[in-house]
A = this chain, B = another copy of it.
């Protein structure tokens, strides 16, 4: 694969905005959890807290015509792609002003304007959708990205689609976010062999990266995208990361190994991001705090507006798109 030194190209303004997006995602998820507990967000949610560097790192090297398929754990991916927090929140609040009018909810967000062809509630659905997007994009210089977790690498969709994409040389980048667990089950308990051995068996180029370090993710993603964009077929990226909160609302949480959460918190992507701002870009603590505060303020306003937004009116819905 071509080596792209993506990190070198990041000027301070750009990096600040990436850092801000990571902060925005974290705070967005905290807000969603709070709103859930207060009964304003319903059903279930799968939060992205802890994995922010992945979505933001990958999105930072996407082109304007690329396409992304994410999962039920998709708030982070959506925000990183530029989906407005207000519309995303309103969707979760079930409001008419939501990005899907309140019809879809947390697990099924779609925002084509922002390159998000969907969040997929079925494990493996994102992989299939991105593979199909790759079929549509082949020869255009654009790439499709699939996000999915470690647990999903045991699913039929994963294998069939990787083979399919390789045989047809589709421009797809498969991003496996290995957060160590599929729901409540450690990935090693249900996965034979190493995850990377699987794409390797299909002869996809494979990279592993530190998923908590935006620069590492960005660098690996840039290379993978470049590979796919240049007509060389699909590429695979496994990023190691960790989710801080339960899998979903009903998570008993018994499965974490002692000390594991703390150890990962020490490598928090926001902490690493803040350090980078200070060390690489000479930002002061106040500079960073100002960014954090701006994200907070944006979300406070979004929360207020969201809670005041109207609910959709029930009414007849066409089953089919008319001609």
> Does A191 belong to the interface (CB within 8 Å)?
yes
A193: chain B residues within 8 A (beta carbon):
166, 201-203
A189: chain B residues within 8 A (beta carbon):
167
Inter-chain contact A192/B203, CB cutoff 8 Å: yes
A164: chain B residues within 8 A (beta carbon):
154
A191: chain B residues within 8 A (beta carbon):
163, 167
A156 and B198 CA atoms in complex are apart in Å by: 13
A50 and B182 CA atoms in complex are apart in Å by: 45
A197: chain B residues within 8 A (beta carbon):
200-202
A201 and B194 CA atoms in complex are apart in Å by: 7
> Does A162 belong to the interface (CB within 8 Å)?
yes
What is the 8 Å Cβ interface bit string for chain A, positions 158-180, against chain B (1 contact, 0 not)?
11101110110000000000000
Inter-chain contact B160/A155, CB cutoff 8 Å: yes
A40 to chain B, nearest CB (A): 39
> Does A190 belong to the interface (CB within 8 Å)?
yes
A278 and B190 CA atoms in complex are apart in Å by: 50
A214 and B204 CA atoms in complex are apart in Å by: 36
A163: chain B residues within 8 A (beta carbon):
154, 190-192
What is the 8 Å Cβ interface bit string for chain A, positions 14-57, against chain B (1 contact, 0 not)?
00000000000000000000000000000000000000000000
A201: chain B residues within 8 A (beta carbon):
193-194, 197-198, 200-201
> Does A157 belong to the interface (CB within 8 Å)?
yes
What is the 8 Å Cβ interface bit string for chain A, positions 196-211, against chain B (1 contact, 0 not)?
0110111110000000
With known contacts A193-B201, A202-B193, A160–B167 Cβ distance under 8 A: no
Inter-chain contact A154/B160, CB cutoff 8 Å: yes
Residue of B nearest to A158 (CB): B159
Chain A residues 84 to 140 lying within 8 A of chain B, measured CB to CB, are none
Identify A192's interface contact among B154, B155, B167, B192, CB under 8 A.
B167
A186 to chain B, nearest CB (A): 12
A234 to chain B, nearest CB (A): 9
A194: chain B residues within 8 A (beta carbon):
201
A284 to chain B, nearest CB (A): 49
A192: chain B residues within 8 A (beta carbon):
162-163, 166-167, 202-204
A39 to chain B, nearest CB (A): 39
Inter-chain contact A160/B166, CB cutoff 8 Å: no
Residue of B nearest to A153 (CB): B163
A22 to chain B, nearest CB (A): 33
A4 to chain B, nearest CB (A): 25
A204: chain B residues within 8 A (beta carbon):
192
Give A contacts to B, CB under 8 Å: 154-160, 162-164, 166-167, 189-194, 197-198, 200-204
What 8 A-B pairs have minimum CB-CB distances, sorted nearest first?
A: A156-B156, A166-B192, A159-B159, A197-B201, A192-B202, A201-B201, A193-B203, A163-B192
